[in-house]
Structure 1
C-alpha cells in the first residue's frame, strides 16, 4: 500500500493509491485436498456453500446454525443481515487450503477466497482471501478473520446501513452517528460534482474503532491511529475496476468540528469519485492539492488557517526551490501539514491563472497520462518553471510572510 496523508486541524487524511496485487481474472479455487487428520476440506467446502446459500437467500437462521458457539452464531447471522442491508451480490465463499493451524482433535484454520459487490455502487467484485476457523472437522465455523489478512467490514459483525440516492454508509459499533456520516457524504458528493461533473456515488465504511480499521485494511498496528479517513480499494487490489470506498477512523473523525469533518469527507470523496486511486503517474502535489482545492473551495476560512503551516515554514526556511516532490509526502515527515498546504496553493495558483475548468482538465489529463508538461502547456500556457515561479510568489505573499 502506498498511503498519502494530509493533516487538517486535528485530522490526517490518507489516500491509498494501490495496494498489493490481484489478477483481473475470476479466482478459481483449487480442488480441496485433505492434508491432515484434523482438517476435512470437503466438509469445510460444504459448510461454506451452505453459508453462501444462506447469504443469497437472506436466511439468518440457517447461517447462525453453522456457528460452533453462541458468538459465532451471532456473527454469521449478522453477516447475512449485513449482506441484505448492503445489497451485496456476487457473493462467493470458496475453500482454498488449510493454514496449518489446528486446535484439538477437530478444529483448524482454513484459507477461504471471498468475493462480493455492492449492487448499484461497485462496478466489479472485490475479492480477498482470509482465514476461517472451522470446528467439528469442518461442519461448523467458529471464527472469521485473523492476523495478516484484511477482514471485510461486512464480515466483522453487525452493521448499521444508511443510504440516500447514490450514497451508502455502513457503520460498525455505535450507530448513533450514522445519519451524520450520511449527511456529510452526500454533501461531499455534491461538492465534488459541482467541480468535476460525472456519475457514480460514494460508499463510506466506518469500522467500530482503530483496531477495526486496521483489520479492515490489513495494516500494521497504529499505522492509521492518527488519521481521520482513508480512501482505498476495498480488497487492496490494483486490479482495474476494483471497488474503492472511503473508510473513516471514527476515533479521530468524530472529534473534529463540523467544518473540519466535512473537509475530510469531501477530500476523500474527490479521490474516490475522480479515479485518483489509479493516478499512479500523477505528481502527489496535484493529486492531493486538487482534493484540497475542491474540499476547501466553499469553506470560508482565512489563509492563516488554511496555509498557516506552510507560511511558518517559509518564514523559517525561505521559499522552496521546486514544487513539492513525492518524497515529501512521507507520512512520517514532521512537516507534512505544510507540504499539503503547499500542494493546495499550487492548485489555487493554477485556478487563479487559468480558471477552474482549466485546472480540472489539467488534473484529469495528468491523472490519465502522467504528462504534466503537456497538460500545463495546453490548459495553463505555462511551463513547470513558470508555474513554480508563480507559486513561489504566492507563498511570499502569505500572511506573516509578506513584509
Structure 2
C-alpha cells in the first residue's frame, strides 16, 4: 500500500493533470483500457464526506453505481453509523491508487481518513483505508462511483465497513456489527464493567468505547492484522487507528467468536479487564507487561466469587507439569500467540494480588501508576509496597506452590 510518503505537491499535481486528461494505454484491438481517475475519485470522496457531515444517507447512497443496491446500502450505513456514533471531524482525502484497474473499470484507492467520537475520543483517529471504486458512464456523464469503504486487504474501521447497532450513553458507546440482541449483551457487559473499574480507580476520566465486529476476521481487519492473528484473543484495547499515543483515542475491540463461547462470568471478567486497560490508559503505560496485565485482571477479578483453583486453573496445571517458573512473565510469555498464554496471564494476576496483600490495594494502584509513568520498578516496589523485587518473586512463587497443592488436593 502506498503510504503518506508521497509529497503533497506530487498528489496535487497528479490530481490536476489526471482530472484534466486521464492517460490511457491502447490495447492490441485499439480500444482504451480502463484507467484510474484520481480527480473524479477525489470529488466522489468529497461528496461522501459532505454527506456524512450532513447526515444525508440518501446522498451517500447516490454515490454508488446505478443499480448496485448492495453498494448503496453500504454507503447509506456509513452515514447512519457516523450519526449514531456521534462522529465529528470526518475527512476523506484521496492519496493514491492501490493496484490496477480491472476490465470493468473497478479499482481501489488509498484514502486518508480521520474521525472522532465526539465527547469520548480525546483526539481524532487517522488511518489509511482502502476504498473500492468503479469508473461508470451514465447519461449525466462519466464519474467514479464508490462501491465499498474499508475494502478487503487493508485496515477496515468498523463504522466504514459494516452496518452497526449502536448504543450511546453519557458513560459508554457500544457499537456492534450484529443483531439487537448482540448489542444488548455487549452493552450490558460494558455497563457492568464501569463500576468494577471505578471501584479501584475512582478518579478515571475516560469513558468507554466498545466495538464488536461481525467475525474474528473482522477484528483482524479493524486492527490491520493478518487474518487469524487475534483468533484466540477475546478482546484487545488499542487505538482505533493503530497508533497508540498520549491523549489519543482508545477503544475495546472484541472478538465475537471467542467472547461468544464464554459464559457470563468469564465474558464479564474479559470486558472488565479491557475496560481497566482503556480507562487507565494502559497501552501508554511504561510498566512491565506483567504489571499492566496483572493489574487489569486484579481489577476484573477483585469481587468475583471464585476459588483460586478455578481463577488460575491453567497456571496450576503448568506448575504441576513443569514446576515453578523462576521469574515473572515477560513479553514473550504475554504476547499474542504465545504458548500457555492463559497461564501467563494468571501468573501476572497472582503477582499483583501478592502486591495488594503485601501493601494494600492503594499501594498497588500507586505502584501501577508510578511505574506506568516511568518510575523505576525496583525503587517503587521498595518505597510504595515495602518489598524488593526478589521478595516479590519469592512470595509469588510461594503462592503458585500453594495453588498447585490446592488444585492437586481438589
Judged with a 3 Å threshold, the aligned counterparts in structure 2 of structure 1 residues 315 and 327 are, in CA distance, closer, same or farther, namely same
2:61 counterpart (49, 61, 64): 64
What SS does the aligned partner of 1:246 have? strand
Q: Secondary structure at the match of 2:372?
A: helix
Assess, with a 3 A threshold, how the Cα gap between structure 1 residues 303 and 36 changes in structure 2: closer, same or farther. Answer: farther
**Could you tell me how far 1:30 is from its partner in structure 2?**
3.4
Match of 1:302 in 2: 307
Q: State the 1:73 CA deviation.
A: 0.8
Would the aligned equivalents of 1:174 and 1:208 in 2 still touch at CA under 8 Å? no
CA–CA distance in structure 2, aligned partners of residues 268 and 62 of structure 1 = 38
3-state DSSP of counterpart to 2:147: strand
Give runs of aligned pairs for residues 224-373 of structure 1, distance below 5 A.
224-279=230-285, 281-369=286-374, 371-373=376-378
Question: Which of 184, 209, 217 is matched with 1:203 structurally?
Answer: 209
As a proportion of its length, which structure holds more helix? 2
SS in 2 for 1:61: helix
Of the three residues 161, 165, 175, the one matched with 1:170 is 175
Structure 2 counterpart SS, 1:170? strand
Which SS does the other structure have where 2:100 is aligned? strand
Distance 1:317 1:40 in 2: 62
1:141/1:331 Cα in 2 relative to 1: closer, same or farther (>3 Å)? closer
Q: CA deviation at 1:248?
A: 1.2
Work out which of the two has the higher radius of gyration on C-alpha atoms and give 1 or 2. 2
> In the TM superposition, what whole-angstrom CA distance separates every residue of 1:32-68 from its partner, at most 9, and x where no partner exists?
4337432222211111111111111111111100011
Q: Which has the higher contact order (CA 8 A, sep 6+)?
A: 1
2:42 aligns with: 45
CA distance in 2, matches of 1:308, 1:131: 43
Q: Does structure 2 conserve the Cα–Cα contact (< 8 Å) formed by 1:113 and 1:129?
A: yes
- Paired with 1:63 and 1:168, the residues of 2 have a C-alpha distance of 24
Instruction: Give deviations 1:165-196, integer Å, cap 9, x for gaps.
Output: 21110011323121121111011111111101
Matching residue within 210, 217, 224 for 1:218: 224
Partner of 2:11: 30
**Normalising by structure 2, what TM-score?**
0.87
Whole-angstrom CA distance in 2 between matches of 1:118 and 1:277: 19
**1:336-360 deviation digits (Å, cap 9, x = unpaired):** 2221111111101000010000000
1:197-224 residue CA offsets vs partner (Å, 9 max, x unmatched):
2112101001111222222112111122
Distance 1:376 1:343 in 2: 16
Aligned length: 379
RMSD: 2.2
Within the alignment, does 1:378 sit opposite 2:383 as a pair? Answer: yes
**Cα distance in 1, alignment partners of residues 187 and 88 from structure 2:** 22
Confirm or deny: 8 A CA contact 1:365 1:375 kept in the other structure: yes
* Distance in 1 between residues matched to 2:335 and 2:347, nearest whole Å: 15
- Alignment gaps of 5+ in structure 1: 1-20
Counterparts in 2 of 1:272 and 1:95: CA distance versus 1, 3 Å: same
Residue 262 of structure 1: how far off its partner (Å):
0.3
> How far apart are residue 388 of structure 1 and its match?
1.0
Give the structure 2 partner of residue 112 of structure 1: 111
Q: In the alignment, is the contact (CA less than 8 A) between 2:175 and 2:212 conserved in 1?
A: yes
Deviations 1:78-130 (A, max 9, x none): 11111110000000001111123202264322211100000010011001111
